[in-house]
Amino acid sequence: SLTLLLCCSFFLAGFCSAVCVEVPSETEAVQGKDMKLLCISCMKREEVTASTVVEWFYRPEGGKDEPIYEYRNKNHEFPSRFSGRLQWNGSKDMQDVSITVLNVTLNDSGVYTCNITREFEFEIHRPLFTSSRLIHLTVVEEAGEDFTSVISEIMMYILLVFLTLWLLIEMVYCYRKVSKAEEAAQENATDYLAIPSENKENCAVPVEE
């Protein structure tokens, strides 16, 4: 029925709505491969209107932080050991401000810092908020079996199964609720038709909201 369709469509829309999750970056790269340095800084819905500046720094073991990349209305790559090997992977809403290091070398091991500065555009004031993400990257010559990634994949499949079952349960509950409402309406209509015509003038069929 139309009521069931609307009910389930509303549920599915809420279930499938996009969300922002601050997932930590991987910390191990393989020599000669590309490595995405994941940096996600979620904003609340009412905070979306904001100008964002992103700064990436690299610090070798025993060294100091040096700027390697910046996003300030446009991309800017600083002269460094990464020159020509950095690629912007940020999203349009500037919640994902990740970069990718191309053709990783053993010398790229170290600490990467992602600094995010947001200036929110409210009517009365324009507050500034800053946040940082640290990534301790280790570069290896060959990829080995990553027990953590295997566990993560298993947990992901378990979560998908759980969410699927939950979705089915909610749809069944929604269907039963609508069916009971329709049965109650039919019973009321039947009871009304069974009343003698001379008594119908003083009787009103109840309407469920």
Cβ partners under 8 Å of residue 106, min gap 6: 31, 139, 141
What's the pLDDT at 145? 60
pTM of the full structure: 0.59
Same domain? For 63 and 105 the reply is yes
Same domain? For 68 and 83 the reply is yes
Same domain? For 176 and 98 the reply is no
Average pLDDT, the chain: 81
**Lowest model confidence (mean pLDDT) among 8-17, 24-33, 185-194:** 8-17
Residue 4 resides in a domain: no
Residue 202 resides in a domain: no
Residue 49 resides in a domain: yes
Q: How confident is the model at residue 5 (pLDDT cuts 50, 70, 90)?
A: very low
What's the pLDDT at 144? 66
φ, ψ (nearest 5 deg) of residue 134: -110, 135
**What is the number of structural domains in the chain?**
2
State pLDDT tens for residues 78-125.
999 999 999 999 988 889 999 999 999 999 999 999 999 998 877 777
Last-in-domain residue among 140, 166, 199: 140
Burial of residue 111, with CB atoms counted within 10 A of its CB: 0-12 exposed, 13-18 middle, 19 or more buried: middle
CATH number at residue 132: 2.60.40.10
Range of the domain at 156: 146-180
Q: How confident is the model at residue 183 (pLDDT cuts 50, 70, 90)?
A: confident
How, if at all, do strands 66-72 and 75-77 pair?
Answer: antiparallel
Question: Are the C-beta atoms of 33 and 102 separated by less than 8 Å?
Answer: no
Same domain? For 132 and 42 the reply is yes
Closest C-alpha among 57, 76, 53, 84 to residue 68: 57
- Tokens 């389930």 sit at which residue? 8
Same domain? For 136 and 172 the reply is no
Same domain? For 72 and 161 the reply is no
> Quick count: other Cβ atoms within 10 Å of Cβ 104?
21
Beta bridge partners of residue 101, listed in sequence order: 35, 86
Same domain? For 71 and 159 the reply is no
> Quick count: other Cβ atoms within 10 Å of Cβ 100?
15
State pLDDT tens for residues 113-145.
999 999 887 777 778 889 999 999 999 998 766
What's the pLDDT at 70? 97
The average pLDDT across 194-203 equals: 59
Residue 171 resides in a domain: yes
Cβ partners under 8 Å of residue 205, min gap 6: 188, 189, 192
